[in-house]
Amino acid sequence: MSLRTRLTLYLTSLHILMAYVAISLFETSRTKFFLFEIVLLISVVLSSRLINQLTAPSDFLEVGVDQLNAGEFSTRIRPVGLPEVDQLISVYNQMIDRLHRAQLDLGEKRGFLEKLLEATPAAIMTLDFDGKLSTLNAAALNLIGGEGAELVGKRLSDLDLPLATSLAKLEQGTSKIINYQGFRRLNCRHSGFIDRGFSRSFYIVEDLTQELHESERSAYENLVRMVSHEVNNTVGASNSLLESCRAFRKNMNESDQADFIEAIDIVTARNESLNQFVRKFAQVVKIPELVKSPVDLNELLTDIAKLITPMAKEHGVSVEFVGDTTLAAIRLDRHLMDQALLNIAKNAVEATPENGSVMLRTAVQNQQIVVEICDSGDGLQKDGSQMMFSPFFTTKPSGQGLGLVLVSEVLSRHECEFSLTSEQGFTVFRIRFPKT
């Protein structure tokens, strides 16, 4: 029962008693009755005012508590005309003003932070107090894969996703560059912060692929330029001397001339082979500007499947092409894309053992054209998969380590996303073309 109710009941009871006394005076003395009635009326008015004055602080506190509980900081309480209560109301209103300003400031900062997290290219994931995912920005969802609703509330170690598994192993307070999907380089950091007195942690993942690619490209451009210069000068001078040496065969015994010429031809051929070797290096760093035109990827991959079929038969490998008939033509450099896809397909055939299979297929996923070249080979080797797209790295005895570098350059020029992964017993080279 509230204070106002208790006071009202008390004073009502008192005035009922006074009214009873007044009625008893009516028959004995009319004058006393009327005087008592006036006193009773004045008492009722004064009692009502007294109730309002006594309960004003209580009413004020009740309204203030309701506003604070509701988080409503925009409403102010008017003065009631009582100095003591009005002073308390003034202090309350000042407090509400400060809370309102702080609420607006916090809301603006929160809105800015949310927009910043969504706009940043870095993937950011925060964990709750139990080490489960609580928030992921758009970059994190795109990178780690899956839907936000499916990921929130789960531990990274419980997710059957390659990147999540690698992040779960990263100790708090450390950072590491992780090789992802064969060619991507991700700088992953696991840090912590204090929330309401308890420790929480978060991950920041930055994609360094482009920066490292540019750095590597610059390094091997300089290397190829220097090697080309030295080899061309040396080979040119050597061939000139070898041609001059041919003139001396007349001064030799006839029985020795054949061996002499054969030796010169062998050295000349080796020089030419060295020249071709260096020219292949130079082709990687001198890819021409793209000349784009509408290309039917189904038609292009059909031609590639026909080209690799004879080689596949020699290896005892079957080749299959599965095309999405709804595929629209896409603008790209047909010659360069043909080189890149053919290189991938040939690698797939070479990596597939006898009685294995290679599949080329096209599809449309999330408004993106996707090309997949799959083989049933031995999959990616743990040591080699991280270096697969690095210049001069090769797993082939006679390889030069330039095939996938050329592929990477061509696909990057076309702004494609690509990955090389092992999936359910198949090695899959997946290419996602930009949305049209």
- End position of a domain, from candidates 160, 192, 207: 207
Residues 299 and 280 in one domain: no
Residues 138 and 8 in one domain: no
Residues 310 and 418 in one domain: yes
Whether 63 is covered by a domain: the verdict is yes
pLDDT computed for residue 200 by the predictor: 92
- Domain of residue 379, CATH code: 3.30.565.10
pLDDT computed for residue 233 by the predictor: 76
Q: Which helix (DSSP H) or strand (DSSP E) does residue 426 occupy?
A: strand 426-432
Q: Is the pLDDT of residue 307 over 80?
A: yes
Per-position DSSP letters for 105-153, written without gaps between them: HHHHHHHHHHHHHHH-SSEEEEE-TTS-EEEE-HHHHHHH-S-HHHHTT
- Domain of residue 171, CATH code: 3.30.450.20
Burial of 325 (0-12, 13-18, 19+ CB in 10 A): exposed
Whether 114 is covered by a domain: the verdict is no
pLDDT computed for residue 427 by the predictor: 87
Give me the amino acid identity at 183: F
pLDDT computed for residue 301 by the predictor: 93
Q: Is the pLDDT of residue 201 over 70?
A: yes
Residues 269 and 298 in one domain: no
**d(C-alpha 403, C-alpha 394), whole Å:** 9
Residues 222 and 200 in one domain: no
Q: Is the pLDDT of residue 320 over 90?
A: yes
Residues 312 and 424 in one domain: yes
- End position of a domain, from candidates 207, 242, 275: 207
Q: pLDDT per residue over 62-83, tens digit each?
A: 676 777 777 777 777 777 676 7
- Domain of residue 222, CATH code: 1.10.287
Whether 361 is covered by a domain: the verdict is yes
Contact by Cβ (8 Å): 76, 60: no
Q: pLDDT per residue over 234-270, tens digit each?
A: 777 777 777 777 777 767 777 777 777 888 888 888 8
**Structural domain span for residue 259:** 212-285
Q: Is the pLDDT of residue 379 over 70?
A: no
Max avg pLDDT among 60-69, 103-112, 352-361, 398-407: 352-361
**d(C-alpha 380, C-alpha 422), whole Å:** 6
Instruction: Please state the rounded mean pLDDT for residues 46-61.
Output: 67
pLDDT computed for residue 400 by the predictor: 45
Instruction: Please state the rounded mean pLDDT for residues 74-94.
Output: 74
Residues 312 and 358 in one domain: yes
Q: Which residue has the higher pLDDT, 133 or 56?
A: 133
Instruction: Please state the rounded mean pLDDT for residues 218-242.
Output: 74
Whether 408 is covered by a domain: the verdict is yes
Considering only CA atoms, which of 192, 185, 189 is closest in space to residue 209?
A: 185
Residues 278 and 303 in one domain: no
Max avg pLDDT among 27-36, 220-229, 289-298: 289-298
Whether 115 is covered by a domain: the verdict is no
Give me the amino acid identity at 138: A
Whether 74 is covered by a domain: the verdict is yes
- End position of a domain, from candidates 285, 314, 344: 285
Residues 16 and 63 in one domain: yes
Residues 350 and 425 in one domain: yes
Give residue 389's pLDDT band: very low, low, confident or very high (50, 70, 90): low
> How remote is the C-alpha of 32 from its chain's centroid?
92
Max avg pLDDT among 115-124, 149-158, 175-184, 193-202: 193-202
Residues 327 and 387 in one domain: yes
Whether 334 is covered by a domain: the verdict is yes
Q: Is the pLDDT of residue 48 over 70?
A: yes
**d(C-alpha 153, C-alpha 403), whole Å:** 43
Whether 306 is covered by a domain: the verdict is yes
Give residue 383's pLDDT band: very low, low, confident or very high (50, 70, 90): very low
Number of domains comprising the chain: 4
Beginning with the edge strand found earlier in the chain, give each strand of the sheet holding 123-127 in spatial order. 133-136, 123-127, 198-207, 184-195, 174-180
Q: What are 369's two structure tokens?
A: 């054209």
Q: Is the pLDDT of residue 224 over 90?
A: no
Q: Which residue has the higher pLDDT, 245 or 131?
A: 131
Residues 139 and 170 in one domain: yes
Instruction: Please state the rounded mean pLDDT for residues 124-144.
Output: 87
